[in-house]
Chains A and B, each alone.
Chain A
Amino acid sequence: MDLDDTPEQAAYRAQVRSWLDEHKSEAPILQGPGALQDEDEIVAARRAWQGKLAEGGLAGVTWPKEYGGQGLGPIEQVICNQEISRAKAPGILDAIGVGMLGPTIIAHGSEEQKSRYLGPMLHGDEVWCQLFSEPAAGSDLAAVQTRARQQDDGTWRLTGQKVWTTNAQFASYGLLLARTDVDVPKHKGMTMFVVPIDAEGVTVRGLRQISGEAEFNEVFFDDVQLEEGAVVGGLGNGWGTGLTTLMFERVTIGLGSEGMGYNSTRFAGAIAADEHARRDPEVRHRLGEIASELLAVRFTGYRTLTALQKGQIPGPEAGLAKVTIVAGAIKAGDLIADVVGPDALAEDSQWAYMISFLPGLKSAGGTEEILKNTVGERVLGLPPEPRLDKGIPFSELRSKEGAAA
């Protein structure tokens, strides 16, 4: 049992570190003195930096070499992330594209799609967004209603709405899950598409949240025309293709759980700064409870890495780490606000931002309730909830749901 690099990993780390030593002065400054302020400038600078990282082999570490990647494993990806963070340089702009959507295209896309999209994605020339969730399809993702209808000439017409879409405001393409057949049960009638965000009929609108900022978007599709070749992974195979994306999402989260800044060191620092709080038994007890669980998540991450190193894929139980992180960070925000007082809630306070962000994060990537169902059923083997939607054509579902209500 150890947390050390193997000789090969140490050599890789040295190689990444040396590249960063040479190039980190070219990275955009996002925090502190001299930080870029304008949103468009920030995006442009981060695109260019992603391009440099890709040229240096620090983006798409796990992608196959033939698509511009390094053909390495998840451990090397983590080493790369650690070194980028150590160099205090920003990571890639399009983590969703490179981490989840690109690998989906590599697994399910046509040769034409791979050669057209993967290169510009990896280099940050074309940013991607994930168009899966809808207002009425979140935890129950297979309930998507966005409808794609094939025309006589083979092209498609797309109508509907997506939501919680990160990066759509500057994305070139989205990977979209649409309903293509309403006469079969809901998991069978979906298809995955590549959608150009600049296509006529696509509208992107920022979705402001509790903090007042818009980290996400709503994306509307009004009779958008798509090429016949926009289908990824075959007609009617949207669910299976989407599951691949979600598996890579789990891997991405598993490799980056410390990256959100919800860690015991940061929270303890805030308490240590107050002479009274650091000696107060109640404050110490609350901090100890929060920090113990967050420390556990760090080592759960290392366990996940060990499993990945052995070629195992993280299962749904990795989602429990997310429950712990969010719950721990919520309690930490509460504790710090109790200690700091109303200043913690000042508009420019890091704590106000965190406190505002967390209630929504509880539902991100599937609500906590559905996540616990999945873990209870897949990991503990408990029987599933009875379902009203099994084997029912999608077109008949809504009336059935109405009758049940």
Chain B
Amino acid sequence: MNLALSDEQVFLREAARGALSRFKTLEAARGALDGDDSAMPDLWPMAKEAGWPGLLIDEAHGGAGLDAFDAMLVLGECGRVLAGVPLLGHLPATAIVNASPNAASWIGELASGDKRAAYLPSCPPNDIGSGWSSDSRGGLARGELPVATAGGRDSDQDGQTKVSGSFAFVPDAPGASGFVGVALIDGKPTGVAILSESAGVQVEPTTRYDATRSLAHVTFQDAPALVLDAPEDALVSAWYLAQALIAAESLGSVETALDVSVAYAKERFTFGRAIGSYQAVKHALTEVLRQLENGRSLLYYAGWARNGAPEEFPLAASAARAVGGNALDTAARTMISVHGGIGATWEHDAPLYFRRAQLSRRLLGGTGQATDRVAGELIAQADAA
């Protein structure tokens, strides 16, 4: 039994914290909301220097050969300071490519970060018969995955196909060199890789509420694509990896929200007492800690399960996403209320965390979908027992 950080993991986390501290990410977030498009620093060169693009790529291909938990530690640090490092898009894409022997010519540049990929969020079927789906632009209906119109693994030796379809609100899509996700070929889920410069690729950058989050709607019209020979398991796992990563990022934001709130509750006095001495405030902050600790435990579960118990990874990652999303909502609202009126002003950092919470809960299928998936996985387990 060992659910503790290794020395290397502690070092990875500290190094990430140090690297990110060189940037004024919170000021940039506020500046970008005020319309200063140049405010957001490009953090990709720093990520390259730190070796983050290749975290999940095998060492033989120039990556670090680490596992999901290590990537989650880095995302947690990004979340602490609301840093817009485009790893949420890149890392799940690299996980699919890493499992695709026929994409070996791409992988070195993805590992070094010379090329950046964005994952096309492709949600696997659940226990009650939903098919593969994508995020849609709005409403409760799920989008359909793109269809590969010609070619395919079996019919075309060079693995080329053409893809038509769309994905809404794709994290880190603007500026990505290419996209990796799932398309249906004769109804069969198949990994595809598409270069953004190809004909028939349209990337429509969009910002919603949180300027630190780079998003785009991505549309393909007969776009040439490489059919990846990644096994279906790897396509399923990439979705849950994305869930685990956004959970880790959210919980990093919770850490800061809690730290800042606790510090204020100690120094702000009313009626002759620090407000943190009142049970109403103390219990609210303790509730944030409770949710944070639950989330941390589930990050360990997900980090361990991806390789230690792959059949449990969907459950573990979905549970982490559900708890992480709720925790950030609670933490951001508590941060505002503990600070009183000033917590709801533009000058304060609390609204930045609140904006992050609001948008994060609606991306990558949304926390509601993850919560439903937890139930579905457990019901399937009960049937199997």
B294 is an interface residue with CB less than 8 A from chain A: yes
User: Looking at chain B, what size class is its interface with the partner chain?
Assistant: 35 or more
Q: What are the residues of chain A within 8 A of B323 when measuring CB–CB?
A: 292-293, 296
Residues of A within 8 A of B (CB): 1-5, 9, 75, 264-265, 268-269, 271-273, 278-279, 281, 283-285, 287-289, 291-293, 295-300, 302-303, 305-307, 309-310, 317, 320-321, 323-324, 369, 372-373, 375-377, 379-386
CB atoms of A320 and B286 under 8 A apart:
yes
A11 shortest CB reach to chain B, Å? 15
Q: Does B319 contact A (CB under 8 A)?
A: yes
* Distance of B334 from chain A, by nearest CB (Å): 12
Give B residues with C-beta under 8 Å from A: 1-4, 6, 69, 128, 258, 262, 265-266, 273-274, 276-279, 281-283, 285-287, 289-290, 293-298, 300-301, 303-304, 308, 315-316, 318-319, 322-323, 326, 368, 370-376, 378-379, 381-383, 385
Contact of B297 among A5, A269, A289, A300 (CB under 8 A): A300
Specify which chain A residues have a CB less than 8 angstroms from the CB of B318 in the assembled complex.
288, 292
Contact partner of B378 (CB less than 8 A), chosen from A289, A291, A384, is A291
CB distance from A310 to the nearest CB of B (A): 7
Which of B4, B370, B372 touches A310 (beta carbons < 8 Å)?
B4
Q: Chain A interface mostly helix, strand, loop or mixed?
A: helix
Sort A-B residue pairs by CB-CB distance and give the 7 closest, nearest first: A268-B378, A296-B294, A288-B371, A299-B297, A382-B276, A376-B282, A272-B382
Assess the A320–B375 pair: CB atoms within 8 A.
Answer: no
Most B CB contacts (10 A, CB to CB) among A271, A279, A382 go to A382
Task: Provide the main secondary structure of the chain B interface.
Answer: helix
Contacts of B293 in A (CB 8 A): 296, 300, 317, 320-321
Q: Which residues of B contact A320 (CB under 8 A)?
A: 286, 289-290, 293
B283 to A, closest residue via Cβ = A372
Which of A265, A285, A307 has a CB less than 8 Å from the CB of B381?
Answer: A265
The reply to whether A272 and B379 contact each other, CB–CB distance below 8 Å, is: yes
User: Contact: A384 with B277, CB < 8 Å?
Assistant: yes
Complex Cα spacing A298 to B305, Å: 14
Partner of B300, one of A297, A303, A375, A384: A303
Q: Which residue of A lies closest to B324 (CB)?
A: A292
The contact of B277 among A287, A379, A385, by CB within 8 Å, is A385
Cβ distance B88 to chain A, nearest Cβ, rounded Å: 21
Known: A284-B375, A287-B378, A303-B3. A1 touches B290 (CB 8 A): no
Contact assessment for B375 and A385 in the assembled complex, using a CB-CB cutoff below 8 Å: no
Q: CB distance A305 to B319 under 8 Å?
A: no
Tell me, rounded to whole Å, the shortest Cβ–Cβ distance linking A372 to chain B.
4
**What's the least CB distance linking B52 to chain A, in Å?**
19
